[in-house]
Structure 1
């Protein structure tokens, strides 16, 4: 289904003049074809719609118009839901525009054990799928006022990790007013029917896209484009050759590689050729200085990036700290940085268009399959190629797939350029996802009969035959493991089951924690950290062959017994060692080992460390809460302290100091080593605190310490 290229004048929209004024202040005089078609299909009347169109086609504005028109007519609250925190922040900043009309805008993500009661005062709430799923489990009264839901990036249903949560949220959201947004999907009619929505599908893009496949040919490389035209470039490396060609035409380039190491290596190679490209050296110097000012990030990665950025190039992957990624993204948006070499996570995370997108690898590594390699999905390619073309700068965007062998051209063309994306299918078809889904429904909806609970499962995208199989297994397992019980024909969460649902942890995670704690007396920090890292919710880290041997040797030398027995299965043993490496990283973290030392010792990035800390903070908190629920006080005391230490990366003696906002592990240690060891010491030695931290910060810290002391006494 393709819409006609009709552009609607915003003056003709049945909206208050204040709304029209905000649009015009953004430079929006007309709605583009997808936006026009959405309005014609009833967007402003609150009709349920599924809109599928390419990246950059203006789906966010469609959501804004849908939300604002609904709130003007019906009041209440509207929720805009995204799969990624980076997108949540981006959309929040966009929606802030509407505060000019009196609508209060808020953003929430993370912190799953809360009902966010403060949100009762807000009209437009931007959040993530996981956070909304968690909020429903806590049943805050304000959430009953939310009658309009925008589900962004709905194609994440196909993501093995996030898909089950996206689908779970959609099942509940489709019972209210709904607008779903997605990149182009092949079975949009099926999904629209599932959502009870009218489909609006278009392939329109603000900047036309040309796609091609690049292959080695004699002394250089030939690009065969979709329209059968050819182009030749020369050089020793195809990615570098086409990058330099695009830069010579005043383009910006996004290169996607399948690993961090390859991305970094490619960025360095490209940088060595940038002497021939005109650059704004003053602007790049400003970015380098900005990197010097931030606290986040390891010294090595900062120095590496500074050297590259001075040449107009950067790499980007999840191993970098958020502050570093933000600086790189902003430098690229402002056209100061000319080339970013990234792993595919960037394609979905932020709005970052470029003249040229080069997909350097159609394979990615997957430890779960033989040979470790699998082809990327068509959807992933579309996400990457969708970044090609900068509105207002480029007449055309170009997406190039690099192949190493001319024989593969036809196959690659058919799969990625000439084919539709994969159909959206349920990812609830495994025990871990399905059992979590049922637990979440019972937590959100309250007591249900088996039939009522099964009806929620039948509303999923899973075939009915699979639901029947998984449902019976789930009820039996959840009952046998004391998550639910039956009473007067209703399925009821036990106190333990409700606490697990509220903590937003997987029931298999909770079961492992319970068994580990109940079967052992209180233990050492490393044993608790290893137990939690071994659960399905634990973080994953790369473990090299050399590290495997070291870790296996280390197990016998530990000062205390681990809470998980050594498994016999090879896959399980790999996870066991993964968990041990995570535990060792976190042990160094809470012993205040310098961050640079941790990054170098374990070969991880600052972004990895931050991710491990956040996940283990959540898991140590959850284990503490479960130990209280299970009346395991000996474990609870240790886990409470461990959680506080993991959060800030400190030894126990600094716990009182880090209560103060603005004092982290480094400042707390500085104060402690100089005799300032608690809140009272700060209040009694204000001049000394000022001399250590500076007059302005010292005064602020002293005031906060006094406030906390008054609260305690």
Structure 2
């Protein structure tokens, strides 16, 4: 295919100037095909092309052309907050055209009215769904929707929201759906009423292979998809292949199925990095910056410090955002040579490498205790697609590690020579379907059963299943007082409106409602346990040793009785562990102590705190709308304590920006207990916190009380 020169594009000259400043003189083949199929003319498109093939630029051209030619607003939806921030930074270029760019994620109980003044809005799928529910006036102006990482529709947890957003978006404006991997793209394009751009073109060719032990000790063979092979030498296959790539000035991403494996593999690789040429000065700077991260645990920082000095790091959700950011940036800057990660990295930030090693093709199924399963082909494609850095590599390599030569053909057939799984509707569960119905009633006017039927017919759900769920959903929502029927119209009750605005799972709402109306005031642990036990609660793993300890340490009566079912008991104990973590947190137990006591990472703790912050807020509002004053009072205080992890007396101080649990306790212990006392004692505050920080805190305290 001929590639279009930027100069010949029928677009504004200022757009061309911005592209040229980025070094783009012509569009690549997928981008060219998208333009030929109407990208610049508001045509709905489904673009399926590999990682690094320029899908983001296609989205930018589509959005900007639409806004300049037709006005309105454009939303770019992503499945992950990290991607939201990444795209926001990229899109800021377009402010040179007078377009205003904003991003929003989290905080579901708001209509973000401030976004009325912005043209391009980057949001997570959940946030976009939440904004529709709030009926903010500006949301009606959005008539161009970019749906990124659209294959997330196959994710059991995120898929229902992605599908729900797609159903609305195709009714309200132009859709541009983007993905690296969709097997049944023709069916999906037809469903979206969009034309297709589907290509295997990559800016850097990919060599896919399988890595296995050879006939001699310390010999390992890479058998490639095209029939060629080569050998690498070393102590184990992952180390041997990794060192081979690094010795040729490459970088490697190694994917392992668990955090434990990722950390152990990083340590093992680091033991052989003495033979590799590294930039010791820059590695030392990166390692030192790890020590300064405020939101990381001491043990994590020490482990990463020692690894980074050797050019290696591990990466998983257990690490704090601050630690992950440093690791990702140092890898992008080619200072760190190897990252050993869990598969979540493949679905997140843009982090290409010369080579990718997939160390495991099995993983544990958390829902079936003791059961392992093959990873999906889509997951393999997401990981292998990270191989090959545009501008650095002539080709990328991805290898799957197997134990014996006899497994090579099986893996080749299952992953290297196979199409990805088809996208299918994930609305086929009661929880997902009921939430979908509630969201439509909350966001549309004059909703009747016919209105809902039309929306349901627009989903990917099999028609018979949709029909079966429809009546069941209406009856359940009516019985549980989420909705009311007035003649032919369906409306939200006061309770239903609050639940929709809070963006709570309907089953979470019913659990909270039932427990609070059935019980009198309880202990802090009981409230935390109830909230963690809901479908929206955070999950943590439980070891056999912890099971008895958790029950033995239980010192007050819980709202929810211990179940007999093994799976429910597992959830019950997970929720109890979360409750203990949260109680320690609000009692100001040292963060390192919490991490060590419960065997979690700093990233886990932050995720638990964020979720429980939202759930205590939601619980408070459920109690409020139900008129349960006793519970309302307890939950309100718990919510105020959860975010910063403080005892009740520190609540006034942590309301001042810049004051967290440690600084608040320091000020309080020296007799400064309120924002007013901060203002009255500026010199003492500077003495305790340091001159610069102290002065800033005094200014913030003054703002906080005005």
Mapped partners of 2:293, 2:214: distance in 1: 46
Shift, 1:447, TM fit: 4.1
Match of 2:188 among 169, 184, 191: 191
CA contact (8 A) 1:240 1:270 kept: yes
Cα separation, 1, equivalents of 2:429 and 2:602: 33
Preserved contact between residue 648 and residue 664 of structure 1 (Cα < 8 Å): yes
1:574 aligns with 2:570: yes
Cα drift, residue 536 of structure 1: 0.3
The one of 200, 205, 216 equivalent to 1:203 is 200
Distance 2:649 2:407 in 1: 61
2:367·2:567 contact (CA, 8 Å) conserved in 1? no
The yes-or-no answer on 1:452 pairing with 2:462 is no
- Partner residue in 2 for 1:85: 81
What secondary structure does 2:643 align onto?
Answer: helix
Distance in 2 between the 1:155 and 1:527 partners?
39
Question: What are the residue-to-residue correspondences of 1:171-190 with 2, within 5 Å?
Answer: 171-175=167-171, 176-190=173-187
2: CA distance between counterparts of 1:644 and 1:600? 25
- Residues in 1 aligned to 2:692 and 2:349: alpha-carbon distance in whole angstroms: 36
- 1:339 paired residue number: 338
For the structure 1 residues 419 and 610, does the alpha-carbon distance in structure 2 shift closer, same or farther, using more than 3 Å as the test? same
State the alpha-carbon separation in 1 of the partners of residues 359 and 26 from structure 2: 37
Please give the secondary structure, in 1, of the residue aligned with 2:553: helix
Match of 2:560 among 559, 564, 570: 564
1:372 CA displacement? 2.2
Give the Cα–Cα distance (whole angstroms) in 2 for the partners of residues 90 and 159 of structure 1.
22
Whether 2:100 is the aligned partner of 1:104: answer: yes
Provide the C-alpha distance between the structure 1 equivalents of 2:658 and 2:523, rounded to a whole number of angstroms: 30
Change (3 A) 1:244 1:708: closer
The 5 Å alignment of 1:620-639 reads 620-639=616-635
Q: 227-236 or 521-530, which moves further after superposition? A: 227-236
User: Given the alignment of the two structures, is residue 150 of structure 1 paired with residue 177 of structure 2, yes or no?
Assistant: no
> What residue in structure 1 maps to residue 210 of structure 2?
213
TM-score, structure 1 as length reference: 0.98
Partner residue of 1:74 out of 70, 73, 87: 70
| Whole-Å separation in 2 of the counterparts to 1:468 and 1:278 | 64
The SS at the match of 2:481 is coil
Q: What is the root-mean-square deviation of aligned Cα atoms in Å?
A: 1.0
Whether the 8 Å CA contact 2:108–2:503 is kept in 1: the answer is yes
Rounded to whole Å, the distance in 2 between the matches of 1:708 and 1:134 is 29
Counterparts of 2:434 and 2:288, CA distance in 1: 50
Map Cα deviations across residues 196-245 of structure 1 (whole Å, 9 max, x no partner).
10111111001000000111222222111011011112223111110011
d(CA) in 2 for partners of 1:667 and 1:194? 55
Instruction: Report the CA distance between 1:369 and its aligned residue.
Output: 2.7
Q: Deviations over 1:317-357 (max 9, x none)?
A: 00000010010000000000000000000001011010000
Query: Contact (CA 8 Å) 2:588, 2:646: kept in 1 or not?
Result: yes
How far apart, in 2, do the equivalents of 1:543 and 1:189 lie?
43
Alpha-carbon distance between aligned partners in 2 of 1:576 and 1:528, rounded to the nearest angstrom: 13
Q: Paired residue for 1:64, among 48, 60, 66?
A: 60
Contact preservation (8 Å) 2:291, 2:302: no
- 2:261 maps to 262
1:607 alignment partner in structure 2:
603
In 1, the alpha carbon distance for the partners of 2:524 and 2:642 equals: 10
- Superposed CA deviations along residues 97-152 of structure 1, whole A, max 9, x for unmatched, are 11111111101000000000010111110000000000000000011111111000
1:673 corresponding residue in structure 2: 669
1:248 is displaced (CA, Å) by 1.4
**Separation of aligned partners in 1, 2:47 and 2:548:** 52
Q: For the structure 1 residues 369 and 566, does the alpha-carbon distance in structure 2 shift closer, same or farther, using more than 3 Å as the test?
A: closer
The DSSP-based 3-state class of the residue aligned with 1:399 is strand
Greater alpha carbon shift after TM alignment, 461-470 vs 214-223: 214-223
How far has the Cα of 1:250 moved from its partner? 1.2
**Partners of 1:214 and 1:402 within 8 A in 2:** yes
- Pairwise CA distance, 1:481: 1.0
Partner of 2:400: 401
Partner in structure 1 of residue 487 of structure 2: 488
Conserved? CA contact 1:150–1:180, under 8 Å: yes
Query: Using the alignment, how far apart are the partners of 2:548 and 2:674 within structure 1?
Result: 43
C-alpha distance in 1 between matches for 2:93 and 2:271: 43
Partner of 1:314: 313
1:703 Cα deviation after fit: 2.2
2:410 pairs with 1:411:
yes
Within a 5 Å distance, the mapping from 1:153-552 to structure 2 comes to 153-175=149-171, 176-218=173-215, 219=217, 220-369=219-368, 371-552=370-551
Q: CA offset at residue 394 of structure 1?
A: 0.5
Shift of 1:406: 2.1
Residue of structure 2 in register with 1:7 after alignment:
3
Q: Separation in 2 of the partners of 1:633 and 1:163? A: 37
SS of alignment partner, residue 655 of structure 1:
helix
Q: Deviation at 1:706?
A: 2.4
Deviation at 1:367, TM superposition (A): 2.2
Equivalent-residue separation in structure 2 for 1:120 and 1:367 (angstroms): 43
Runs of 4+ residues over 6 Å off in structure 1: none
Match of 2:698 in 1: 702
Give the conservation status (yes or no) of the 8 Å contact 1:184–1:201: no
Structure 1 unaligned runs (5+)?
A: none
Q: Is the 8 A contact 1:389 1:398 kept in 2?
A: yes
Contact kept in structure 2, 1:447 and 1:493, CA below 8 Å? no
**SS where residue 306 of structure 1 aligns?**
helix
SS in 2 for 1:379: helix
